Structure 1
Amino acid sequence: MSIRAVLFDIYGTLLRSDAGEIHPDPALRAEIAKAHAASPHPFPEVDIREIHAALNPGRTGDEIEKLSMEAEQRSNPVTAMEGAAETLESLKGRGLALGLISNAQFYTVPVLEKCIGKGLLDAGISPALCCFSYLERRAKPDAYLFEAVRERLAQNGIEANQVLYVGNDVRNDIEPARACGFLTALFAGDENSLRLRGRSLDGSGADHVIHDLREILKLV
């Protein structure tokens, strides 16, 4: 069956990011760990605003968001991955459904929009086909994020085997996407972002391995 939808991870895929998965600030790490320990989910996520609010009592909501964004910019500066904007524009032009499944925070979408030079809607990305960890309080590789989008696609008549998911992490992206029935493409175009988790490229389990996002256009 032909591909009718393409879903993307953000950090390490659409955005070039050299930061690791552990925040460098020890106070933030400790507060995040406390929140994770209280979560009922196997792969918990936080809304980082709540973490900063706990560490900065008395600050207003706007002040907390400013603190959060400043801390993120210091610890995890990002730029658009080469070919990201062009790929999205081409996929939009072909009429494919586009979405995002990503470990993310409230600032992730604004940062992505700034980096690719347009809003999600203008880039062809449907908000209904987006699932972000901070809103669900569950992080990849939790299958829930993928299953939620699969259900929304099914409501529009798009079956799982008509969906291509693109990500840079074998554990967080490829494995749960495959378990959900999606076709997968491992993005290996940035060695700092690539997460093989002990696998080889050939043994990643992905249906495709790409080194440039524009290679997606040959797959669909």
Structure 2
Amino acid sequence: MTTAFTLRQKLLRRILELSAAMEPEPTYTPPVLRKLPGIKAVAFDFYGTMFMSGTGDTIIDDPKNEEAVAFEAAFETMFPDLAEQPEANEGVQVYKQVIHDHKAAMKAEGVDYPEVQITEVWRDVISRLRGSGTDGLPENPDQELLEELTIEFEMRNNPTWPMPDLRSTLEALEGKSLKLGILSNSQFYTPMIYEAHIETEPDQAYFDINLCIWSYEERLCKPSLDFHKRLKTAFDAHYGIKPEEVLFVGNDMLKDIYPAHHFGFKTALFAGDQRSLKWRKDDARVSDITPDLTITRLYQLVQCL
């Protein structure tokens, strides 16, 4: 068994090995910029806002057809000595069903938008595949194996890359003495994606540890109002910052702008990548909401604060 430190370094290295440079796809959306006085803090979504995402979201929220290819490659990497690999399309269906079952169990307990623990999902996927004939898979996979398998699948299926201007924007906002936070649908590897590319953990540079709220830790995800309320509470409890003094930046009108607007945050819609921009025009919850800003490059935030 490798140490936790060695495993972390291994996973960070693997994230980079499975990553490739990406460029944003233009949205042709005109920016809407203006000065926002009185802002003391900025909070960001992760996928599709700070980092480009091949799917535009976490793979749990927005699965794509490439899943079978990623599944096959991940299992061949992790279990190269299997006499017979599980059929990839069947494996993907098991994976989706396990996620559905885990979420359904939490919804039955009253959670409106539950978040799964992805390593527990993979534990059950392996168990079900064993039960359907892939006997060579481990009966009791340890946490290390489950985390490695997650990385092998996720990084292939949902490639990520920092948005242009990310580091310079964070440096400039920090230079303005603004508190910085993150509220994002996520899994254990999401902060590690940041660390792999920025070479430090989010709460070790730029972001405040008290203001980094991850769905996998809360077991709750967007667009749950309760999830966003936890960010509002954190700003107030730790720094006495009021909602109207916070600018929330996200790429999704429903998952980001709607709940932030509900609690009185100022809002900035990030419209810098066609893969992730989601207007949700058919959803009544956003029909009467206009973001305070619409940005197409992250650094435009600096001009408005």
Q: Report the equivalent of 1:74.
A: 156
Which structure carries more helix by proportion? 2
Partner of 2:93: 26
Q: Quote the residue 1:10 is aligned against.
A: 46
Matches within 5 A, 1:156-175: 156-175=239-258
- Percent identity of equivalent pairs: 35
> Which amino acid in 1 is paired with 2:53?
S
CA distance in 1, matches of 2:93, 2:194: 26
More strand by share: 1
What does 1:16-165 correspond to in 2, within 5 Å? 16-19=52-55, 21-23=61-63, 24=67, 25-39=92-106, 40-56=110-126, 57-155=139-237, 156-165=239-248
CA 1:8 to 1:188, structure 2 compared with 1: closer, same or farther past 3 Å?
same
Which runs of 5 or more residues in structure 2 are unaligned?
Answer: 1-36, 68-91, 127-138
SS of residue matched to 1:99: strand
Q: CA deviation at 1:203?
A: 6.9
Q: Give the total of aligned pairs.
A: 219
- Alignment-mate amino acid for residue 301 of structure 2: I
Return the alpha-carbon distance in structure 2 between the equivalents of residues 129 and 193 of structure 1: 23
Deviations 1:83-137 (Å, cap 9, x if unpaired)? 1111111111111100000000000001012223433234310111011111111
User: Structure 1, residues 48-68: CA drift from partner, whole Å, max 9, x if none?
Assistant: 011001122411110001011
- Partner letter of residue 121 of structure 1? D
How far is the alpha carbon of 1:168 from its aligned partner?
A: 0.1
Structure 2 residue 247 is matched with structure 1 residue 177: no
The DSSP-based 3-state class of the residue aligned with 1:148 is helix
Contact 1:13 1:166 in 2 (8 A): yes
Counterpart residue type for residue 210 of structure 1: I
C-alpha RMSD over aligned residues: 1.8
| Secondary structure of 1:213 counterpart | coil
Distance in 1 (CA, whole Å) between partners of 2:203 and 2:158 is: 25
TM superposition shift of 1:22? 3.3
Q: What SS does structure 1 have at the residue aligned with 2:299?
A: helix
CA distance in 2, matches of 1:136, 1:219: 31
Unaligned 5+ segments in structure 1 are: none
Name the SS of the counterpart of 2:259 in structure 1.
helix
Deviation at 1:150, TM superposition (A): 1.1
Match of 1:212 in 2: 297
Distance 1:212 1:203, change over 3 A: farther
Give me the TM-score of the superposition, normalised by structure 1: 0.94
Q: Distance in 1 between matches of 2:62 and 2:277?
A: 16
Partner of 1:186: 269
